[in-house]
Chains A and B, each alone.
Chain A
Amino acid sequence: MISPDSSLIACRLLQDASAILLWGACGYLFACVPPTLSSDTVRQLRPLLAIAAAVLVASTGLLLPVNAAFVGDGWSDALDLATIQAFLFDTNLGPVWIAQALLALVVLLATMRRDPSIGFAALGAALFLSCHIFLGHAVRLQGPAGLMLQASYLVHVLAVGAWLGALVPFIVMLRHQGASSQDDFALAMRRFSSAGHLVVGLIIVTGVLNAWLIHGRLWPAWHSLYDQLLAAKVIVVSVMVMIATCNRYVLVPRLKRGDGSMRALIWLSCSEVALGSLALVLVSLFSSFDPA
Chain B
Amino acid sequence: MTKLLSTSALAAGVMLAGMTSAFAHAEFVKSVPAPDASVTSPAEIDITFSEGINLKFSGAKLADSMKMSVDTGPAGLAKGGDTTLVIPVTKPLAAGEYVVTWHNLSKDGHKSKGSFKFTVKP
Identify the closest chain B residue to A245 (Cβ).
B8
Q: Are A139 and B108 in contact (CB under 8 A)?
A: yes
CB within 8 A of A242: which of B8, B23, B52? B8
Complex interface residues of chain B between 13 and 27 (CB less than 8 A to chain A): 13-25, 27
Question: Could you mark each residue 89-112 of chain B with 1 if its beta carbon is under 8 Å from any beta carbon of chain A, else 0?
Answer: 000000000000000010111110
Q: How far is the CB of B116 from chain A (nearest CB, A)?
A: 18
Indicate if the CB atoms of A137 and B24 lie closer than 8 Å.
yes
Question: Which residues 48-62 in B have Cβ within 8 Å of A in the complex?
Answer: 50-52, 54-57
| A237-B12, A238-B12 known; A210-B111 Cβ under 8 A | no
Cα–Cα, bound, A73→B78 (Å): 25
Query: CB distance A207 to B15 under 8 Å?
Result: yes
Interface size class of B (residues with CB under 8 A): 20 to 34
Q: Are A204 and B14 in contact (CB under 8 A)?
A: yes
Shortest Cβ distance from residue A233 to the other chain B in the assembled complex, whole angstroms: 5
A12 near B56 with CB under 8 A, answer: no
Nearest B residue to A70 via CB reads B111
A288 within 8 A of B: yes
Contact B51 A234 (CB under 8 A): no
User: Complex: how many Å from CA A157 to CA B55?
Assistant: 29
Contact call A136/B108, Cβ cutoff below 8 A: yes
Interface: A36 (CB within 8 A): no
Closest to B14 in A: A208
- Which of A53-61, A90-98, A178-186, A264-272 makes up part of the contact surface? A90-98
B17 lies within 8 A of A287 (CB): no
| Bound CA span A208–B30, Å | 31
Of the 9-residue stretches A44-52, A108-116, A213-221, which lies at the interface with chain B?
Answer: A213-221
Those of A154-181 within 8 Å (CB) of chain B: 156-157, 160
Q: What are 20 pairs between A and B in contact, CB < 8 Å?
A: A71-B54, A71-B105, A90-B54, A91-B57, A92-B52, A135-B108, A135-B109, A160-B19, A204-B15, A207-B15, A215-B17, A233-B20, A238-B8, A238-B12, A249-B4, A284-B22, A287-B21, A287-B22, A287-B23, A290-B23
